[in-house]
Amino acid sequence: MRNFVTAAVMAFGLAAAARADVVDDIAARMRAGDYKGITGMMVSQDGMLHAEAYAPGYGADKRHDIRSATKSITALLVGELIEDGSLKSVKTKLSKILPDDFNHMPKEDPRRDITVEDALTMRTGLACNDWIPASVGQEDKMYKTRDWGAFLWALPMAYERGEHFSYCTGGVVFLGRVIEKLSGKSVPAYAEERLFGPMGIEGAKWEKTPKGHTDTGGHLRLTLTDLHRLGQLVQHGGEGLVDPKWLKEATSEKTQVYERNERYGYLWWLNSGIVKEQPISLVYAHGNGGNFIFVVPELKLVAAFTGKNYGDRAQFIPMQLLTREIIPSLIEEK
């Protein structure tokens, strides 16, 4: 699957037919159901909507399980904790915020030093890698337990804290506990107050862990329009809701991703390349199935996709459409 992603991103350098109606053509094919498992697309540039299209059987009111794209929204909520002063720094240790979860550890245990930033950048050092089924901390193993927090903090260390990227949903779920503790509210209530309500996002549906906490690592249900609005929020520097400084931090490179071209900020993916001699960068949220929020700063472009290709490399069709067709066509028009 990783090779498939790399191939899609390498398409940045490929020439595409210069056609003003490329986005319209893609939208027409979307409506015809030509893209396996991709259920919707919304594309805008500089605030102007280019296309909104849904596969047969889908529409604007459908809420999709956006899987790990939820993580990028969690990063925005952590930024709100910084903004309201309840979280003083991302360098704060998780053990200082929720000490009861660490009571079983010796005082010198390195897990006590894991910070909010380590969880935001997937560098906790824990033996947790969702991309490797054999990993003791792999997310499917966590989902089978009654206490996801206890599962996470029973894991041994595999790397030095803050040194090695290892994709771990458990750490991001624990950030939901941080949001609850510091805000004094449930995650859905805090998200509604600080983000969704002011943005006009209605009916967001969060999943709960077996212990009744909010799953901030995945499974949030939003509409395609909601995803697009979140992309516009990032493109427009927070729109007065999210501190621009936090957005810059969240979408700036914090770590390389092992054996991949992508880089990682605070739960946001980053990439870059050259298209028709123009440097282009991508900031994006990605959820299994083909759920994406793409922001292309150089083109003031926002593209959102929904999909149901869970566990299938066809989930990267939106990445191919964006890099091989949409971006080159819009550069041609400029």
Q: pTM higher than 0.85 for the full model?
A: yes
pLDDT category at 332 given cuts 50, 70, 90 is: low
- Cα 118 to Cα 80, 106, 128, 258, 279, distances in angstroms: 18, 20, 13, 16, 30
Cα separation, 222 vs 186, in Å, equals 18
pLDDT in tens, 40-88: 999 999 999 999 999 999 999 999 999 999 999 999 999 999 999 999 9
The pLDDT of residue 9: 42
The pLDDT of residue 19: 42
Mean pLDDT (the chain, rounded): 93
pLDDT in tens, 146-162: 999 999 999 999 999 99
Q: Assign 3-class secondary structure to 73-91.
A: HHHHHHHHHHHHCCCCCCC
pLDDT in tens, 311-320: 999 999 999 9
Please name the residue that has the structure tokens 């150089």: 298
Say if CB 126 and CB 167 are below 8 A apart. no
pLDDT in tens, 106-119: 999 999 999 999 99
| Percent share of the chain, pLDDT over 90 | 90
The pLDDT of residue 143: 98
CA 223 to chain centre: 15
Looking at the structure, give the CATH architecture of the domain made up of residues 2-62+223-333.
3-Layer(aba) Sandwich (3.40)
Provide mean pLDDT across the span 191-202. Answer: 98
The pLDDT of residue 21: 87
Backbone dihedral angles phi then psi of residue 304, each to the nearest 5 degrees:
-120, 140
Q: Is residue 11 pLDDT above 80, yes or no?
A: no
- Cα 178 to Cα 98, 119, 160, 183, 187, distances in angstroms: 7, 11, 22, 8, 10
Say if CB 137 and CB 126 are below 8 A apart. yes
Which of the 8 DSSP states describes residue 217?
S
Provide mean pLDDT across the span 286-297. Answer: 98
Contacts of 9 (CB under 8 A, 6+ apart): 261, 262, 271, 273, 319, 323
Q: Which residues of 271-310 are buried (b: 16+ CB within 10 A; e: fewer)?
A: bbbebeeeebebbbbbbbbbbbbbbbeebbbbbbbbbbbe
Residue 282, both tokens? 């991508």
pLDDT category at 14 given cuts 50, 70, 90 is: very low
The pLDDT of residue 258: 82
What topology does CATH give the domain 73-180?
A: Methane Monooxygenase Hydroxylase; Chain G, domain 1 (1.20.58)
Q: Which residue type is seen at 162?
A: G
Q: Is residue 3 pLDDT above 70, yes or no?
A: no
Q: Of 59-73, 85-99, 132-146, 251-265, which gets the smallest average pLDDT?
A: 251-265
Going from N- to C-terminal start, the domains of the chain cover 2-62+223-333, 73-180
Say if CB 40 and CB 306 are below 8 A apart. yes
Q: Is 34 exposed, middle or buried (0-12, 13-18, 19+ CB in 10 A)?
A: exposed
Say if CB 310 and CB 67 are below 8 A apart. yes
pLDDT in tens, 204-240: 999 999 999 999 999 999 999 999 999 999 999 999 9
